[in-house]
Structure 1
Amino acid sequence: MNEIEINITSDYDEVEKVSETVTKFLSDEGVEELIRNAFNICLTEALNNVIKHAYKGENGKLICVKVFKDKEFVEVNIIDEGLPRENLEIKNLDFNPEDLDSLPESGMGLYIIQQLMDELDYFSVNGKNYFILKKWLI
């Protein structure tokens, strides 16, 4: 299993660095473009959520991203020390795509992540929050 670890601080400008590094790693590992793009979208959304919600927009807090690539799957662990989520409840979005005024104000990010990934998990242990995204390659 191949892996990389990327450490950033809670700064929105750092999010792009993670996406670029993960995309290059997955490309070098032979992961198809569709899956690389899915991780790019999910990482951007998840990291922005950590900064906004777990760290309440405060800069300078640690976020660790670990990427594991096996022949059967890709897994990304996002680890932070911010405020934990109460749960990983993902709303079922009910709106008319032809009526832009019916779009929900929030909650679409986790829904999109759920649609693009095969497995999601979230838990907190010893002051650290773990958000795990997994995509099967087989």
Structure 2
Amino acid sequence: MDEQEMAVAPGNDAAPPDLVAFVDSSAIVAMVDANDNTHGAAVSAYAELLQQGYKLFTTNHVIAETVDLLDAGVGPDVARRWLRDHRLSIYHADEQDERRARALVISSRNPRGLSYVDAVSLVVMEKFGVADAFAVDPHFLNETA
């Protein structure tokens, strides 16, 4: 496993430190796509998180979603370049995480519904006690509030 894909898990040296934020695909897409209406805010927020010493991590599900969104929005070359160059720590959701995420999706009372990727993200944030999320998607932010 290379540095980009180090596991973030309890008892692992890569476990989230005190200042940790979960990164949603919405923030990544906003930073990469200069035409996104939240691009400037996302870039500024990212710089601020790094300046404050936050450790940023995401899940393998968000990585997959991000590549798909970038591919559809700004093209496959940009998506592949981001996939090659990003420096996020990646937590690989396990079977228990996925079972809990399925239950969240099935029981969601949100009229818009809860995406499976967002459900996995919420489960992982709860698992590690992470309260901060770097996202520009208001639906995801409402779920984490």
TM-score band by shorter chain is 0.3 to 0.5
What is the TM-score when the length of structure 1 is the normalising length? 0.33
More strand by percentage: 1
What is the TM-score when the length of structure 2 is the normalising length? 0.32
> Which of structures 1 and 2 has the larger relative contact order (alpha carbons within 8 angstroms, sep 6+)?
2
